[in-house]
Chain A
Amino acid sequence: MIDLIQQPWPWYVAGPLLTLIMFSLLIAGKNFGMSSNLRTMCSISGGGKFSDFFRFNWKEQTWNLMVVLGAIIGGFFAANFLSATDSVDISEQTKAALTSAQFENPGAAYLPAKLYGLEALTSVKGILLLIIGGLLIGFGSRYAGGCTSGHAISGLSNLQIPSLIAVIGFFIGGLIMTHLLFPILF
């Protein structure tokens, strides 16, 4: 059992467990959506001085910040106590493509050093990419009214057409980045 937990979890374990997360929040009277926390953080940092959008009672969102706190602890716990290795067993094709894009040992660690390691943090390009990526995530998720959890899981489960349009958008953007921009960047 312990051995099994220490291995990476297959999709048919993770997917149903995610539904359970959504269900737990619903019966607690809340909705599953992680990107709202970014708005809450803007509000806490005084964003209300600049825009009505951040003028709301953020204390009512404390529950979601607690989910964030739990996710941080969960990540720490899973990486340190529930994992035999932090390598990611991606497909051979992906490995080959990344190798030719000068990524060293793709999948050998949880994140690529080229984007998140010292190599990235000591170059202007590396830091800029992380900043731009973050800006796009924050701007886009709020513009679209949700991210992967709010739209792709919560919204689509409730058969919301807006969520379907948003998820189509996620893929348009993701495919443009992966197939058109990524080959230029690396």
Chain B
Amino acid sequence: MKYIKFITIGFLFGIIMYKSQAASWYRIHEMFRFESFHMYGIIGSALTLGIILVQIIKRTKMKTIYGEPISFTPKAKSITRYLLGGTIFGLGWALTGACPGPMYVLLGTGEWSILIVLISAVIGTFIYGYFRAKLPH
């Protein structure tokens, strides 16, 4: 039962991704061609409200539903891994038009070919883990 809330959050996330067409290859392609405001509007408004929200949480010392303080883990400082990893991710994102959230949404809509992308993404993560020590971070 404790997982019901996470299934519900995922359910809403799936609906939002599908209905806003952020899960469509076409919208991603259009975004990288700078031919529509749509995706920039989604990310920009989510982010603007997100920044305000995080500030409110920090200043009011808001608690989780379990009464614990909401904590934010700062990301480790580096440039190489974020720039290199980010660029590699961007290549795949623009090619498949799917990032790690929308993949599952598309699977739910019955787009079975996305399974090839999903399984390859798991393997890609495995390859990263395997060579992790040898990569510049």
Contact = CB atoms under 8 A, between A and B. Distances in A.
Interface of A: 5, 8-31, 34-35, 37-39, 41-42, 45, 47, 50-51, 53-54, 62-64, 66-80, 82-83, 88, 90-91, 93-94, 97-98, 106-107, 110-112, 115-117, 120-121, 127, 129-149, 151-163, 165-179, 181-182
29 contacts: A8-B20, A11-B40, A14-B46, A17-B12, A18-B46, A23-B53, A24-B9, A26-B70, A28-B64, A29-B66, A72-B105, A74-B108, A78-B18, A82-B19, A111-B25, A116-B113, A127-B116, A132-B92, A135-B121, A138-B123, A139-B128, A142-B125, A144-B89, A145-B75, A148-B93, A156-B47, A156-B51, A157-B47, A173-B86
Nearest to A116: B113
Given A62-B3, A130-B120, 4 more contacts: A15-B42, A131-B117, A140-B86, A174-B32
B95 A133 contact: yes
B92 A79 contact: no
A61 B87 CA distance: 27
B128 A69 contact: no
A75 B23 contact: yes
B106 to A, nearest CB: 6
Nearest to A66: B6
| Secondary structure class of chain B's binding surface, majority of residues | helix
Contact of A162 (B57, B76, B100): B76
B84 A143 contact: yes
Interface residues of B, number: 111
A83 B105 CA distance: 14
A179 B100 CA distance: 22
A41 B83 CA distance: 25
**Which of B11, B24, B79, B86 is the most central at the interface, judged by chain A CB atoms within 10 Å of its CB?**
B86
Contact of A152 (B43, B57, B82): B43
B129 A156 contact: no
B107 A139 contact: no
B90 A169 contact: yes
Contact of A165 (B74, B83, B105): B83
